[in-house]
Structure 1
Amino acid sequence: MKHIMLNGLAVAAAATAVFAAEQPNIVIILNDDQGYQDLGCYGSPDIKTPNVDRLAREGMRFTDFYVASCVCSASRAALLTGCYPSKIGVPGVFFPNRGHKGLAPEHVTIAEVLKGVGYSTKAVGKWHLGDHVEFLPTNQGFDSYYGIPYSNDMYPAKEMKYADGCLFREGMDFKALDDAFAGKSNNGNPRSMKDKVPLMRNEECIEFPADQSTITRRYADEGIQFISESVKAGNPFFLYLANSMPHTPLFASPDFKGKSARGLYGDVIEEIDHNTGRILNHLKQLGVDKDTIVVFTSDNGPWLVKGAHGGCALPLFEGKMTRFEGGQRVPAIIRWPGKVPAGSACSEMALTMDLLPTLAQVTGAALPAQQPLAGKNIMDLLTAKKGAKTPHEYFFFGDLAVRSGDWKYHKKEIFKVKDTKRESKAPTLYNLADDIGESKNVINDHPEIAERLAQALEAHNR
């Protein structure tokens, strides 16, 4: 069992907070590669998201909400631990069959923090923090897990344990797996098994390859069942539901395929929206919606190089795998009836890393003492306290860029989309208040600001 050092001062601080310690239920819905504009309430012209739009009307919509990385594993590690991923050994993306790697179990997750104050916890969907047993959700604070352990475009893991009665599909069996691993490989992964990924329950594969055309609905089904069981047992609950899409390859069920004006990508988003609505409706039916914090966001920006199968980050520049705003500024909505003002918007900078310390403060849970927390308590922002400002003087985009106030400094610029790539003249400085698309370099006009940010970035990188 993991030994967790807890910060007693944090407990004392929580006990004297404006809001006395409560135990609201908590639901975090995290999408994969969803762009900033890919929701009705963020301006999508051709994707209909009535349920998420309703969530925004009933909660707070953030305009300047950031993830700590522009790629999957690192972003998820930061959300769950409240730490910059580089500080906890998760610099990029984990792949199956490429070494024994994952989020080291000594790092404390939101689930572990909440279990310390009596929460039931469940992870559903994409994990992507290591597929070996010690890295799986069941060893990171979650009571149970159901989902695909990494990106939906990857491969089976050679050391995967298969459950008795595992459903093999598309002619798969153990011999087919052995033959594939004996055949041509792509850095340790069998080429013939590309996009064929396992569906797991706890620590075993129960379906291979996972039927991804129904996976969004099945994730919601699993979340709904967990909510029902928790309410029946009288336990506060934490549901972390990480949809596997709109990361490619894209799949939609027959009820949604071909229905969106945005093509298959839109079909996927609209199916996610529908199933988000099912979860919201279930909370209401059980009478716990007013006692539940719901967070809806994305792990990074859209995969623009996928063309029509990628999303849209407008009015931001670029997308996934870059340190421009389109890579790490994401849509985010938080609802908590009676606490978070309905129909509100927040333009202060906030981060996924803020979730752990904020939820700890709300629930009276202790903060982990052994890890370098970068997240801050943002309850003043969530409650729209008069004069509330971001608690972050700086936010670092990996080791290449930093934002402070309206200013953003790039030590180096990396582009992924050929059509919009420009001749980089880094280092660069942008005023996001006037230039959200990062198109006008004003470093020569404000050398003192650029120097201050450059020094902060250098210190962060040490």
Structure 2
Amino acid sequence: MKRFRCIVCLGLFVSLLFFSFLPTSAQKKTNIIMLLADDAGYHDFGFQGSKTFKTPNLDKLASEGMVFNQAYTTDAVCGPSRAALLTGIYPQRYGIEENNVPGYMSASSKLLGDEMGLPVDIKTVADYLHPLGYQSIILGKWHLGNADRYHPLGRGFDEFYGFRGGARSFFPLSQKEAFTKHDERMEKGFGNFQEPDKYLTDAIADEACDFIERNQKKPFFMYVSFNAVHSPLESKASDLDLFKDLTGERKQLAAMTYAMDRACGKIMDKLKELGLEENSLIVFANDNGGPDGTMTCNYPLSGCKSNYLEGGIRVPCIMKLPSVIKAGSEYTSAVSMLDMLPTFLNTAGGNANKIAGLDGVDLLPYITNKTKTEPHKLLFWKKENRGVVLKGDWKMLRFPDRPAELYNLEKDITESNNLAYKYPEKVREMFKLLWEWESDLERPLWQLKRVYEVNAMKRMDEKRTPVLDK
């Protein structure tokens, strides 16, 4: 009898030892949640220094995770920046340099109308996560092609609750409006058009929480692509009442931002309620700089959406992964939204190093001090004849109609002291780097009409002086 007990105990010990050495893939995988704002101002969050906008949930996320002080999007407008985030590849490599907005494009473009979309041979992060057992959903704005062949459900995502275009009302459309604005219709699944019964930002949060409930036993990837705070500026009366000291567009923006913060908080609360918080990677970022037309505040940066000054391409960014990323920490080196795909893939147990052609890197080794180098030696931006290269603290902007500009961002974050004439050899070096990068790019699939490109340059010149929010 004693011998039998010893054998049983030994067997139990061997079993426990065996299971303790099972590969990570057999253990619970990390959930991945990407929260993306739309057209928000760089300064328009409490954790970014705003004293007028209220963002308690995102401020809490910042205190529990890491804030990136020099996070960049890959373009100064929505479409290309989202393409890069989902693919980990510069969008210029597959011909996307500009928003796919019908009516704004030159007749010489290869693709027009609904056919302007993310090429179907380019894989998304959802495509890579699916074989690893992840359930994926996109909620909100797609903006990577209206035609059915570009639909999210054909791009690796299992579920879609949102709209295919670039902007829409935050309140339900009437049947007539939905019929005439087909790319703005809310869609659940594929072709099941269903307008929300509430303010859209709240509806996105509710759908996100429902998805979490249904998938809490399996790993999931959520791409919560808010259309807040993109125009039209529409908010709930109850949210407006919270900002009695503000007026006009700033008041509308504050209320819309508060609603988005509330939605983020609801999603994070659901993770905590279900015991998923400790095993979830959460990222919050913005798609591009705040636009000049809606009174966003990009302080202390100059520039705005549609141009390549810092206010057009530097974005707020938070990353939280309990027990991995130190709470309340900051990261000061340049990172890119290109880095999201490899970071997500490696976190999920994949190997981004095996994917040829990625421009992003897995950020976790850098931000956890496992490697002492910086994530990127060089970063690039391009739209037609405008181009930018960032190397360390040095940033050069090339234009088709004026001399290049050169700035040292470490000493001059406002880009007010052009050093191009003082350091001509640095300008030549940066030009060469930009030309070498451009030599591998595809020709744009569509291009803006010249008038809109001229307007973008005009807005850049008008936004040279950073202004603090009021």
Give the match for residue 32 of structure 1. 38
CA contact (8 A) 1:401 1:412 kept: no
Q: In 2, distance between residues paired with 1:168 and 1:296?
A: 26
Residue 444 of structure 1 and its aligned partner are, at CA, apart by 2.5
Residue 384 of structure 1 and its aligned partner are, at CA, apart by 4.0
CA contact (8 A) 1:118 1:236 kept: yes
TM-score by length of 1: 0.81
Instruction: Give the aligned residue type for 2:308.
Output: R
Instruction: Give the aligned residue type for 1:61.
Output: V
Give the match for residue 249 of structure 1. 232
Report the CA distance shift for 1:196/1:124 in structure 2 as closer, same or farther (over 3 A). closer
Q: In 2, distance between residues paired with 1:143 and 1:169?
A: 25
Give the match for residue 412 of structure 2. 435
Give the match for residue 57 of structure 2. 51
CA contact (8 A) 1:378 1:390 kept: no
Q: In 2, distance between residues paired with 1:130 and 1:21?
A: 37
Give the match for residue 142 of structure 1. 157
Report the CA distance shift for 1:150/1:173 in structure 2 as closer, same or farther (over 3 A). closer
Matched-pair identity in %: 32
Give the match for residue 454 of structure 1. 431
Instruction: Give the aligned residue type for 1:113.
Output: Y
Range with bigger deviation, 116-125 or 82-91: 82-91
Residue 447 of structure 1 and its aligned partner are, at CA, apart by 2.3
Instruction: Give the aligned residue type for 1:137.
Output: P
Secondary structure at the residue paired with 2:289? coil
Give the match for residue 394 of structure 2. 407
Q: Is 1:172 aligned to 2:183, yes or no?
A: no
Residue 451 of structure 1 and its aligned partner are, at CA, apart by 1.7
CA contact (8 A) 1:94 1:130 kept: yes
Secondary structure at the residue paired with 1:172? helix
Higher percent of residues as helix: 2
**Residues 186-221 of structure 1 deviation map (CA, whole Å, 9 limit, x = unaligned):** xxxxxxx6x99211112215236x67x700000011
**Residues 58-116 of structure 1 deviation map (CA, whole Å, 9 limit, x = unaligned):** 00000100011111110000000000011123221113571422111211111111112
Instruction: Give the aligned residue type for 2:285.
Output: T
Residue 354 of structure 1 and its aligned partner are, at CA, apart by 0.5
In structure 1, stretches of 5+ residues that fail to align are 1-16, 155-166, 181-192, 414-423
Instruction: Give the aligned residue type for 1:341.
Output: K
CA contact (8 A) 1:65 1:331 kept: yes
Report the CA distance shift for 1:310/1:196 in structure 2 as closer, same or farther (over 3 A). farther
Report the CA distance shift for 1:236/1:19 in structure 2 as closer, same or farther (over 3 A). closer
Range with bigger deviation, 17-26 or 103-112: 17-26
Q: Is 1:86 aligned to 2:103, yes or no?
A: no
Alignment of 1:339-350 (within 5 A): 339-350=324-335
| The one of 265, 278, 282 aligned to 1:277 | 265
Q: In 2, distance between residues paired with 1:217 and 1:126?
A: 14
Q: In 2, distance between residues paired with 1:99 and 1:119?
A: 29
| The one of 353, 366, 373 aligned to 1:389 | 373
TM-score by length of 2: 0.80
Give the match for residue 114 of structure 1. 129
Give the match for residue 198 of structure 1. 185
Secondary structure at the residue paired with 1:400? strand
Instruction: Give the aligned residue type for 1:406.
Output: D
Residue 388 of structure 1 and its aligned partner are, at CA, apart by 2.9
CA contact (8 A) 1:38 1:311 kept: yes
Residue 299 of structure 1 and its aligned partner are, at CA, apart by 0.4
Report the CA distance shift for 1:400/1:24 in structure 2 as closer, same or farther (over 3 A). same
Residue 425 of structure 1 and its aligned partner are, at CA, apart by 5.5
Q: In 1, distance between residues paired with 2:26 and 2:408?
A: 39
CA contact (8 A) 1:22 1:363 kept: no
CA contact (8 A) 2:136 2:159 kept: yes
Give the match for residue 416 of structure 1. none
Report the CA distance shift for 1:243/1:228 in structure 2 as closer, same or farther (over 3 A). same
Q: Is 1:301 aligned to 2:284, yes or no?
A: no
Q: In 2, distance between residues paired with 1:370 and 1:443?
A: 38
Q: In 1, distance between residues paired with 2:205 and 2:331?
A: 28
Secondary structure at the residue paired with 2:432? helix
Q: In 2, distance between residues paired with 1:130 and 1:152?
A: 13
Residue 438 of structure 1 and its aligned partner are, at CA, apart by 0.6
Give the match for residue 125 of structure 1. 140
Q: In 2, distance between residues paired with 1:369 and 1:136?
A: 26
Give the match for residue 323 of structure 1. 308
Residue 148 of structure 1 and its aligned partner are, at CA, apart by 1.6
Q: Is 1:289 aligned to 2:277, yes or no?
A: yes
In structure 2, stretches of 5+ residues that fail to align are 1-22, 103-111, 440-470
**Residues 376-416 of structure 1 deviation map (CA, whole Å, 9 limit, x = unaligned):** 1211233244x733221110122511111000001128xxx
CA contact (8 A) 2:66 2:329 kept: yes
Give the match for residue 242 of structure 2. 259
Report the CA distance shift for 1:375/1:107 in structure 2 as closer, same or farther (over 3 A). same
Give the match for residue 77 of structure 1. 83
Instruction: Give the aligned residue type for 1:198.
Output: R
Divergent runs of 4+, >4 A: 17-22, 368-371
Give the match for residue 358 of structure 2. 373
Report the CA distance shift for 1:336/1:205 in structure 2 as closer, same or farther (over 3 A). same
Secondary structure at the residue paired with 1:287? coil
Report the CA distance shift for 1:359/1:196 in structure 2 as closer, same or farther (over 3 A). closer
Q: In 1, distance between residues paired with 2:261 and 2:147?
A: 31
Give the match for residue 183 of structure 1. none
Give the match for residue 5 of structure 1. none
**Residues 37-59 of structure 1 deviation map (CA, whole Å, 9 limit, x = unaligned):** 11101011210111100000000
CA contact (8 A) 2:24 2:349 kept: no
Report the CA distance shift for 1:425/1:434 in structure 2 as closer, same or farther (over 3 A). farther
Residue 277 of structure 1 and its aligned partner are, at CA, apart by 0.6
Instruction: Give the aligned residue type for 1:392.
Output: H
Residue 446 of structure 1 and its aligned partner are, at CA, apart by 2.2
Q: In 1, distance between residues paired with 2:312 and 2:336?
A: 14
Q: In 1, distance between residues paired with 2:362 and 2:165?
A: 29
Q: In 2, distance between residues paired with 1:205 and 1:54?
A: 36
Q: In 1, distance between residues paired with 2:356 and 2:38?
A: 26
Q: In 2, distance between residues paired with 1:249 and 1:173?
A: 15
Residue 265 of structure 1 and its aligned partner are, at CA, apart by 0.5
